[in-house]
């Protein structure tokens, strides 16, 4: 009797999951395990001290896993938790697992963890698929090594030749479940702090709620705001953990366009999904160099690491009240708008002259929508070592405040107070 193991990682869903469909059709019995793959190996790519993820990240993860566990339990299955390769190997051996399905991983650490696992359990069929992208690898009009160095080149290539495949439903039949000696996900993530109103929804509710409003028709005009109701789609946390697939968003967008009409704004939602797509394939191409100081460029930025400035940025204690308010928003909610991220990242690199990788690593542990490709790709871009033909972005903080928080409401809401820099610099020399 064939026993399958479905390893959930960044694809926490049952619907629109071809890999799961195929495994369900193939196996007589099945085990479901969630494992935080990027936490299974040591983050050897940077000097940043290993940190636990924030409370918001844990809560959002727990909330999503509970939804998935509920769905599986309606099919008579448990969702187990494993946080080490050893536990996975033990279960695979104990239950004589013959087939393992796991989504392709584009992050370096994630792929290392996967490689480690495959090396320890030989003779097993591994089923892989890119389960979090709009396009399948085979659809791309270029080899991964030839992924274009700029977004506009990528967009032109895919827009002229690739179509998004339609979504699929949930598997019609689930094989018999297998009891395992592992903790249940719901027991691991049970101490959850409440999420903000939008992020306390399920992926499906958020998708329906956004597309039953008129917000998509105004997206291009509102997307740069710092906060507000439906100023952007707010889908990123579910897209990042895969409880929502990019194709599900695309399909809901098409349905909206048919119902309410297409315009520049609705196209722009697709345009942003293409940015996400681009960063995914670019990360796969870059591999380990996604985390290298020089990034894709040939010159190292003129930045370094200054503990004092870094701490000030993390805790929202810089000289810049807007940056402080934004960092407080991140620290309390686990989320920040795209414009906010651009502002704080630009300040990190340009005003504070800090090594971009430390900012990216901070985001990694604090964003509920952390995604290795989008996060490190965007940080590289702002730092001028990524896919930016203009060589980096420097946002004028006074101008950004005037444009995006003219009445100071955002700054006030998140307690952004300017804190004067220390009298001495990082080497102990007087500053003035
Ligand atoms: C320094 C920095 C770090 C970032 N880190 C992450 C991250 O870890 N995870 C993440 O999902 N996004 C990241 N982004 C991209 C972007 O800020 C978020 O995707 C966006 O703010 C999420 O809000 P939304 O879902 O309302 O986006 P919307 O504006 O509604 O866009 C729709 C979707 O398109 C995608 N998207 C939009 N903008 C981008 C972009 N610039 N790059 C990649 N995808 C994009 C997202 O999946 C998003 O959900 C980062 C941006 C910057 C500048």
Closest CA to 345 of 374, 49, 257: 374
Task: Say how many Å lie between the CA of residue 236 and the centre of ligand 1.
Answer: 6
Gyration radius of the chain's alpha carbons: 22
Using the mean position of ligand 1's atoms as its centre, give its distance from the Cα of residue 49 in Å.
Answer: 25
**Ligand 1 atom with the shortest distance to the CA of 372:** 8
What's the pLDDT at 386? Answer: 93
Q: What is the pLDDT of residue 40?
A: 82
Ligand 1, atom 26, lies closest to the CA of 234
Distance (Å, rounded) from C-alpha 329 to C-alpha 167? 34
With left for phi above 0 and alpha for psi between -120 and 50, is residue 123 left, alpha or beta? left
Domains and CATH numbers, the chain: 1-131 (3.40.50.620), 132-166+201-290 (1.25.40.80), 307-413 (1.10.579.10)
Mutation pick for ligand 1 pocket among 363, 369, 388, 404 (CB with most ligand atoms within 8 Å): 369
Task: Specify whether the CB–CB gap between 293 and 46 falls below 8 A.
Answer: no
Residues present in the chain in total: 432
Residue 354, phi then psi, degrees to nearest 5: -100, 150
Q: Print the SS3 string covering 185-202.
A: HHHHCCCCCCCCCHHHCC
Q: Tell me, what's the pLDDT at 47?
A: 44
pLDDT for residue 420: 84
End-to-end Cα, the chain, rounded Å: 76
For residue 189, report the distance from its CA to the centre of ligand 1, in Å. 26
Angle, alpha carbons 300-302-305 (nearest 5°):
100
CA of 99 to the centre of ligand 1 (A): 34
As given in the structure block, the two tokens for residue 146 are 């030839």
Pocket of ligand 1 (CB under 6 A): 223, 232-236, 239-240, 269, 272-273, 275-276, 279, 337-338, 341-342, 345, 363, 367, 369-371, 374-375, 378-379, 382
Helix (H, G, I), strand (E, B) or coil at 212: coil
CA of 338 to the centre of ligand 1 (A): 6
Q: What is the largest CA-CA distance in the chain?
A: 76
The Cα 250–Cα 277 span in angstroms is: 12
The per-residue DSSP string of 137-177 comes to GGG-SS-GGG--SSHHHHHHHHHHH--PPPP----S--PEE
DSSP string, 374-387: HHHHHHHHHHTSSS
* Residue 46: predicted pLDDT: 46
Compute, in degrees rounded to 10, the torsion defined by CA atoms 259, 260, 263, 266: -70
Residues with Cβ within 8 Å of residue 402, at least 6 apart in sequence: none
Query: How far is C-alpha 128 from the geometric centre of its chain's CA atoms?
Result: 20
Q: Specify the residue with its C-alpha closest to ligand 1, atom 21.
A: 338
d(CA 182, ligand 1 centre) in Å? 34
Q: What is the pLDDT along the chain (432 residues), one digit of tens a residue?
A: 799 999 999 999 999 999 999 999 999 999 999 999 888 876 544 445 556 788 999 999 999 999 999 999 999 999 999 999 999 999 999 999 999 999 999 999 899 999 999 999 989 999 999 999 999 999 999 999 999 999 999 999 999 999 999 999 999 899 999 999 999 999 998 878 888 889 999 999 999 999 999 999 999 999 999 999 999 999 999 999 999 999 999 999 999 999 999 999 999 999 999 999 999 999 999 999 999 999 988 889 999 999 999 999 999 999 999 999 999 999 999 999 999 999 999 999 999 999 999 999 999 999 999 999 999 999 999 999 998 878 788 999 999 999 999 999 999 999 999 998 765 565 556 565
* Pairwise CA distance, residues 360 & 287, whole Å: 16
Only one residue has tokens 């040591």, namely 42
Tally of CB atoms within 10 A around 146: 11
């Amino acid at each position: 009797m064939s026993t399958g193991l479905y390893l959930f990682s960044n694809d926490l869903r049952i619907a629109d999951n071809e890999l799961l469909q195929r495994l369900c059709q193939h196996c007589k019995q099945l085990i479901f395990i969630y494992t935080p793959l990027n936490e299974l190996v040591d983050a050897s790519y940077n000097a940043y001290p290993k940190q636990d993820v924030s409370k918001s990240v844990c809560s959002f993860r727990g909330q999503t896993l509970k939804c998935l566990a509920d769905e599986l339990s309606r099919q008579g299955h448990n969702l187990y938790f494993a946080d080490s390769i050893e536990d996975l190997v033990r279960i695979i051996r104990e239950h004589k697992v013959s087939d393992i399905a796991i989504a392709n991983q584009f992050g370096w650490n994630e792929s290392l963890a996967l490689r480690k696992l495959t090396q320890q359990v030989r003779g097993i069929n591994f089923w892989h698929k890119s389960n979090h992208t709009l396009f399948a690898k085979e659809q791309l009009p270029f080899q991964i090594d030839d992924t274009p160095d700029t977004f506009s080149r990528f967009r032109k290539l895919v827009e002229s030749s690739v179509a998004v495949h339609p979504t699929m439903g949930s598997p019609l039949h689930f094989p018999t479940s297998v009891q395992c000696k592992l903790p249940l996900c719901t027991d691991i993530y049970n101490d959850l702090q409440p999420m903000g109103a939008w992020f306390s929804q399920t992926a499906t509710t958020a998708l329906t709620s956004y597309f039953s409003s008129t917000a998509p028709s105004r997206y291009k005009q509102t997307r740069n705001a710092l906060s507000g109701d439906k100023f952007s789609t707010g889908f990123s946390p579910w897209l990042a953990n895969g409880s929502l697939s990019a194709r599900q968003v695309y399909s809901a967008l098409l349905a909206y366009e048919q119902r309410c009409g297409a315009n520049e704004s609705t196209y722009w939602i697709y345009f942003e999904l293409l940015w996400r797509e681009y960063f995914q394939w670019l990360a796969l191409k870059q591999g380990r160099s996604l985390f290298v100081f020089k990034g894709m460029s040939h010159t190292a930025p003129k930045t370094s690491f200054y503990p004092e400035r870094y701490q000030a940025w993390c805790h929202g204690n810089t000289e810049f009240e807007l940056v402080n308010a934004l960092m407080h928003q991140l620290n309390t909610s686990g989320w920040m708008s795209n414009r906010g991220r651009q502002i704080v990242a630009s300040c990190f690199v340009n005003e504070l002259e800090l090594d971009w990788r430390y900012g990216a690593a901070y985001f990694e542990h604090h964003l509920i929508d952390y995604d290795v490709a989008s996060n490190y790709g965007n940080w590289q871009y702002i730092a001028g070592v990524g896919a930016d033909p203009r060589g980096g972005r420097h946002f004028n903080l006074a101008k950004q405040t005037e444009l995006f928080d003219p009445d100071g409401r955002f700054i006030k809401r998140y307690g952004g107070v300017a804190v004067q820099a220390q009298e001495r610099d990082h080497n102990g020399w007087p500053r003035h």
